[in-house]
Amino acid sequence: MSKVSRTRHDPNPEQLSILLNIARAMGEIHHIDELIDLLARESIRALGADRCSIFLLDTDSQELWSKVAIGESRRIRFPASQGIAGETLAKGKPIIIDDAYQYKGFNSQIDVQTGYTTKNILSVPMSNAQGKIIGCFEMINKKEGAFSESDTSFLQLLANHAAVAVESALLYEQKENVIRDLKVTKISLEVKMKQLEVVYDLEKVLAETMDFQAFLHSVGTILCRFLRTSAVMVIFQENDEAPVKYLFNENKLSQFDCVAETKGIGLRIKSGFTVDMLQKELDLVISNHLGVPFHAVDMHSDEIKSDIWGRVEVLNHPKGFDDHDLSFLNIVAEKVSSAISRFKLLESREKSQRLATIGQLSSTIVHDFRNPMTSIRGFAELIKISGDSMDAKQRDKLCTIIMNQVDRCTNMIEELLSFARGDKKYSLQVYDSETFIDEIIEILTVETEKTGIGLEKIVDYHGDVYIDKDKMMRVIFNLTNNALDILEKGEKLIIGMTLKGDDIEISVSDTGPGVPKDLQESLFDAFVTQGKATGTGLGLHISKEIVEAHKGSIVLDRSYKKGARFVITLPKYRAEESKSA
């Protein structure tokens, strides 16, 4: 039998005292589970019941949920239209059931499953301050007699007060969850920001360096700093070639031969290394490691190829590696893969370009041979004509010049071979500036005297220069050769050297017709000529490369109106430069 409460009966004094204590406690409790436990315990005590369930409505899913038992965090959920709790929400009024098994809405199967016997039930709705029902209290099995109207009044009063406290606790829980999520998000964002900074640093290094080992050194430095690891290994293998392995340890990058056979290493690259394998490969004591594979990248399409061809391993983290480290290492591995592909592509292109221009450079060498060959022939003729009338000192001087010019030819041939091999070596040394200029003047004198062209030297810097002498002479002779090709008898060639601030200026000027305006913009480009009958147009282009390798510059002085004037600017020699080179 059941009935809906009709008559008001005020709670007894003991119940009011409990209600007051509950009200005080509710103001201090903010966590929903703790609040529900308090309400259930005190309701059981106030009504002398055996059990209490507090069901709350989830408006999004239209489900009721409740804790499984007092003190537990587990929850059960069911549709809001089911059970006595659902009926209470639907009616919006208290329901008293004196005999549960006689009530058609009672599901006796729950007792069968649990072994519990339900005798009587009191269920009241929970209404918030706006009168909206948010759940219900369900009391089971009053220990002495049946639930009374007084019990109903008390429970309804408690339920309405509890509704406000429960909503506050739920809001507090939501706020706590939001704060917790924000903290997690903040930490995650900080990690991502650091990762982005590292990726930016790697991209910057990759853009600025043309040397693969310098890039790997930067990768090792960055990974050791960011992941707090002591060593980094990068290993990769193309096709059936021998694997290439680098180890960054103690701020040094070393290249190692692989201990295992090529096929065995290829397998390890794909499936991973054990600690024992790494210790054998690297001859290091390893406490922990984290490794990820990387795939080949097609630099023409930016597509990742399916085959795995390399691996990055970070070694010895003081606290061990985590998932953040793994995701970050995957990003770095992709950058390493892109870098390897990029450097290989650049190497291939450079090799192709070198092979394509070797023939053109050969003709340039022939072009540049004219000055030393002219000098050699002129001095040899002078020695032959003079015979015994030339004193020994003069003959030694001319022979020295001839030998120097032969050395220049040999050096140019060596430069061509170096270009074919892909290396450009510079041997910077300290030279006395006056001796350097005087040697140039002495060589030029032979040519200018034969052609009736004037030669003048204007030097007001008398310190040292830090240069590759042969290459810098080649630059100056490229400029003077171009001038001599167009100067007429009676015109003048001027070689100058002066100091401007912290720079040394070497100038080659003439009183000829000057450089045509339509050539001035592209003068230092490859294959640009000034209307000469012979020549490849590579002389000034090569000169510019040589000067820039000296950390200097070469320009056409467009303000000079008496002919053509080229200015080579070089850093002033400092003793520490030669020590660090």
Residues 276-322: tens digit of each pLDDT:
877 776 777 888 889 888 887 665 555 555 566 788 989 989 888 88
Does pTM top 0.85 for this prediction? no
The CATH number corresponding to 205-347 among 3.40.50.720, 3.30.450.40, 3.30.70.20, 3.30.70.260 equals 3.30.450.40
| All residues at 6 or more sequence positions from 478 whose CB lies less than 8 Å from its CB, including other chains | 368, 539, 540, 542, 543
Higher-pLDDT residue of 261 and 163 is 163
Look up the CATH number of domain 426-580.
3.30.565.10
Residues of the chain with CATH 3.30.565.10: 426-580
Proportion of the chain above pLDDT 90, given as a percent? 24
pLDDT at 201: 84
Q: What residues contact 433, with CB distance under 8 A and at least 6 apart?
A: 459, 461, 462, 463, 464, 465, 497, 504
Residues 359-373 have pLDDT tens digits of 655 655 666 677 778
- Contact by Cβ (8 Å): 408, 470: yes
**How many angstroms separate the CA atoms of 142 and 156, rounded?**
16
For residue 298, report the phi and psi dihedrals to the nearest 5 degrees.
-80, 105
β-pairing verdict for 244-249 and 429-432: unpaired
- Determine the Cα–Cα distance for residues 551 and 504; give it in Å rounded to an integer: 12
| Burial of 405: CB neighbours in 10 Å, binned 0-12, 13-18, 19+ | buried
212-227 and 149-208 helices cross at what angle (nearest 10)?
150
The answer to whether 125 and 133 are in contact (CB under 8 A) is yes
CB-based contact 140:51 (threshold 8 Å): yes
User: Candidates 3.30.450.40, 3.60.150.10, 3.40.640.10, 3.30.420.10; correct CATH number of 2-177?
Assistant: 3.30.450.40
Q: Each residue of 120-137: pLDDT tens digit?
A: 999 999 999 899 999 999
Looking at mean pLDDT, say which of 8-12, 266-270, 510-514, 522-526 comes out highest. 510-514
Give long-range contacts, CB 8 A cutoff, 24+ apart: 216-219.
216/246, 216/248, 216/253, 216/336, 217/248, 217/253, 219/248, 219/332, 219/335, 219/336
Contact 195, 222 (CB under 8 A): no
Counting runs of H as helices and runs of E as strands, what totals does the chain give?
Answer: 15, 19
DSSP state of 253: E
Output the CA angle 427-545-551, nearest 5 degrees: 65
Tell me the residue type at 523.
L
Task: Please tell me the distance from the alpha carbon of residue 99 to that of residue 118, in angstroms, as a whole number.
Answer: 8
8 Å CB contact between 495 and 472: no
Q: Which part of the chain is CATH 3.30.450.40? A: 2-177, 205-347
pLDDT at 499: 93
What are the pLDDT digits (tens) for 14-43? 777 777 877 777 778 888 888 888 889 888
Q: What b/e sequence results for 163-181 when a residue is b if at least 16 CB atoms lie within 10 Å of its CB, and e otherwise?
A: bebbbbbeeeeeeeeeeee
Cα 549 to Cα 425: distance, rounded to the nearest angstrom:
10
